[in-house]
A and B are shown apart, each in its own frame.
Chain A
């Protein structure tokens, strides 16, 4: 029996244009998820995000917490045996959402009410707002 998947690769093309990364280089070894410091907070593991993108399952990727939890620490990027820069891919998905929805991921009112280092404030605003 042959199974024909209807693949939607519109998102993939846009993410490639933003990030410059080739998602098909990934062969699902799981090294990225094994070492991700945010792994236990995530709803999808990093390798699952890639797999879903590869098969065109856009909806799950666009609605997951994972892409917003990735803090671009580059641990996965440094360890990927195939040279996939996952940090760039995650940023690609975030930017796609911010640009198309024209809506911030959080509002500054949601920030903690305590003195913070300026780099924490600016970092959060750069990553979570348009």
Chain B
């Protein structure tokens, strides 16, 4: 049992709350793509919330229990890699992992507290789905393409949580290329736009939608100015802020024209000819 993950290359998949709610399209398309590429993702049984915002307090370990319990459960099932599709979950799990691993006292304290779980020893690698695809290599992606994206001009929007802080970054935090490489492999033409790493306003969308609308306006217009026909992202919160807040943008900036926004996995599924999956999702 302990070697299960290593022998069969099964990868623990942690969905998180939003993938089962507003971001079902992200999950459906990503799982379809993963299956086609031979990535064996297994949804963790009995998963719980990751905690959403990584707690930045030095003095409150309680806030780390949710993410570490998830990692502990994955480790006790024999997995060595856990993956997420949601950028928020990725950031929280990865930061919590580094935070408790960096101090043996912290790790001991949290393990003592979670006495009903197996001890966590930091043996799990937290990887975002984009990293798994990058490790798989461009050639594998190219082989799977059925409908080349024909130079579609794509603005890859990373936002914050895949890139910052640097200790958890999946790529360079100012000029990342990981999503661009993937888009090129699909036959699309990624455009560079500086606002691709700028914050969209995040959870402020729940209280101050006008603040988020102003941020989203700048991001989308910057993508458009640089030639993007569509903006893709991996984060369900960025997706909501860039897509659903366009109606709020229109209230502030009347001349604003709609911009297409999709999950990166949706245009992958499109390029791989997995249209049925997209329709059902």
| Residues of chain A within 8 A of B23, CB atoms compared | 117
Interface Cβ pair total, 8 Å cutoff: 125
Stretch at the interface among B110-118, B180-188, B207-215, B270-278: B207-215
B206 with A120: CB separation less than 8 A: yes
Complex interface bits, A64-107 against B, C-beta within 8 A gives 1, otherwise 0 = 00000101111101100000010110011001000000000010
A115 with B164: CB separation less than 8 A: no
Count, chain B residues at interface, CB 8 A: 42
Least distance between A76 CB and chain B CB atoms (Å): 10
B160 with A75: CB separation less than 8 A: yes
Least distance between B160 CB and chain A CB atoms (Å): 4
Stretch at the interface among B75-83, B137-145, B197-205: B197-205
Q: Does B17 contact A (CB under 8 A)?
A: yes
- Measured between alpha carbons, how far is A118 from B51 in the docked complex, in Å? 11
Residue of A91, A122, A124 near B57 (CB, 8 A) is A91
Q: Does B39 contact A (CB under 8 A)?
A: no
- Measured between alpha carbons, how far is A116 from B248 in the docked complex, in Å? 14
B52 with A126: CB separation less than 8 A: yes
A124 with B165: CB separation less than 8 A: no
B205 with A120: CB separation less than 8 A: yes
- Measured between alpha carbons, how far is A119 from B59 in the docked complex, in Å? 24
Given A73-B160, A120-B237, A126-B53: A106 touches B166 (CB 8 Å cut-off):
no
Residue of B51, B53, B55, B240 near A116 (CB, 8 A) is B240
Residue of A17, A71, A91 near B204 (CB, 8 A) is A71
A117 with B204: CB separation less than 8 A: no
A115 with B53: CB separation less than 8 A: no
- Measured between alpha carbons, how far is A17 from B174 in the docked complex, in Å? 30
A19 with B56: CB separation less than 8 A: yes
- Measured between alpha carbons, how far is A126 from B203 in the docked complex, in Å? 10
Q: Does A30 contact B (CB under 8 A)?
A: no
Q: Does B49 contact A (CB under 8 A)?
A: yes
| Residues of chain B within 8 A of A85, CB atoms compared | 165
B206 with A18: CB separation less than 8 A: no
Q: Does A123 contact B (CB under 8 A)?
A: yes
Residue of B88, B160, B166, B197 near A123 (CB, 8 A) is B88
B52 with A119: CB separation less than 8 A: yes
A121 with B206: CB separation less than 8 A: yes
Least distance between B270 CB and chain A CB atoms (Å): 23
- Measured between alpha carbons, how far is A126 from B17 in the docked complex, in Å? 15
Sampled A-B contacts (18; CB under 8 Å): A17-B58, A17-B59, A19-B56, A38-B215, A72-B160, A78-B166, A78-B173, A78-B174, A95-B57, A111-B206, A116-B22, A118-B17, A120-B202, A120-B205, A120-B206, A121-B203, A124-B204, A124-B206
Query: 8 other contacts beyond A72-B54, A117-B22, A123-B202, with CB at 8 A cut-off?
Result: A18-B59, A38-B211, A77-B164, A78-B166, A91-B56, A119-B17, A119-B237, A126-B52
**Chain A contact residues, CB within 8 Å of chain B:** 17-20, 37-38, 40-41, 69, 71-75, 77-78, 85, 87-88, 91-92, 95, 106, 110-112, 115-124, 126-128
